[in-house]
């Protein structure tokens, strides 16, 4: 092999190795840039709510002697009913918020036959308290004003309306006579 061809092949291999090293170096800088971007941009994390939310108002509406249907009308269908404990209903509610411990609330109802005998469980929040606790964690920034001032509205002229079309003549009544569903008798 001539020396000139050998040098050219060696140069080609050297350039190929250099290109590979540059690509690998580029990947590592891309990786660090993506890590920096990931630390700035955080994904939305949703509150996970499971089970039956039971409010303080619903618990206060319960009274011993109510039928199972009356209880179901107030609280909804129980989350847990057992074949082995048919006289007991469990209403369980859990909420998992990002960065906080899992919160669980439980209400147990005891029946004798079809009638409610007693109930006990955790202290339940009122509906207003529960809704306020959900909303307080989601407002991080300043809420923008959602009303336009007269000066802002003046920048956009009102669209011109097309002249109204003359009233159309009333349509003919539609026939309500239908053919029989069955064919002629044979």
| 29-66 residue pLDDT tens | 556 666 776 666 667 777 777 888 899 999 999 999 99
User: Which CATH number belongs to the domain containing residue 65 in this structure?
Assistant: 3.30.1450.10
Q: Is 174 helix (H, G, I), strand (E, B) or coil?
A: coil
Q: Based on the domain organization, do 33 and 54 belong to the same domain? A: no
62 and 35, same structural domain? no
Query: What is the three-state SS of 42-86?
Result: CCCCCCEEEECCCCHHHHHHCCCCCEHHHHHHHHCCCCEECCCCC
Q: Based on the domain organization, do 23 and 72 belong to the same domain?
A: no
Residue 161 lies in a domain: no
Whether 153 has a pLDDT exceeding 90, the answer reads: no
Please give the average per-residue pLDDT across 88-95, as a whole number. 89
pLDDT at 133: 74
pLDDT the model gives residue 86: 85
58 and 131 share a domain? yes
Q: In terms of domains, do 127 and 55 share one? A: yes
Most confident by average pLDDT, 35-44, 96-105, 116-125, 174-183: 116-125
pLDDT at 69: 93
Q: Looking at the structure, tell me whether residues 70 and 121 fall in a common domain.
A: yes
Judge if 113 and 61 occupy the same domain: yes
The rounded mean pLDDT for the chain is 76
How much is the pLDDT for 154? 83
| Structural domain includes residue 179 | no
pLDDT score of 40: 67
How many helices and strands (H and E) does the chain possess?
Answer: 5, 5
Contact 118, 71 (CB under 8 A): no
**Within-domain flag for 12:** yes
Are 34 and 110 found together in one domain? no
Report pLDDT for 48. 77
Domain count of the fold of the chain: 2
Q: How far apart are CA 94 and CA 52, in angstroms?
A: 8
Range of the domain at 85: 48-137
Q: Are residues 95 and 125 in the same domain?
A: yes
Identify the residue with better confidence: 80 or 105.
105
90 inside domain: yes
Both 21 and 93 in a single domain? Answer: no
| 21 and 56 both lie in a single domain | no
Instruction: Say if 164 falls within a structural domain.
Output: no
Q: Are residues 22 and 82 in the same domain?
A: no
């Amino acid at each position: 092999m001539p020396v000139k061809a050998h040098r050219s092949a060696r140069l080609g291999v050297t350039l190929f190795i250099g290109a590979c090293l540059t690509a690998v170096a580029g990947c590592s800088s891309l990786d660090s840039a993506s890590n920096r971007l990931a630390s700035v941009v955080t994904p939305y994390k949703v509150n996970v709510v499971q089970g039956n939310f039971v409010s303080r108002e619903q618990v206060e509406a319960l009274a011993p002697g109510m039928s199972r249907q009356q209880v179901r009308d107030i609280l909804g269908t129980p989350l847990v009913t057992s074949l082995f404990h048919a006289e007991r209903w469990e209403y369980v509610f859990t909420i998992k918020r990002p960065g906080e411990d899992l919160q669980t609330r439980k209400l147990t109802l005891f029946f004798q036959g079809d009638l409610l005998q007693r109930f006990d469980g955790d202290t339940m929040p009122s509906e207003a308290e529960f809704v306020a606790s959900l909303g307080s964690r989601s407002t991080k920034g300043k809420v923008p004003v959602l009303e336009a001032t007269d000066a802002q509205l003046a920048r956009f002229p009102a669209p011109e309306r097309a002249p109204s079309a003359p009233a159309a003549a009333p349509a003919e009544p539609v026939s309500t006579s239908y053919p029989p569903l069955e064919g002629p008798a044979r």
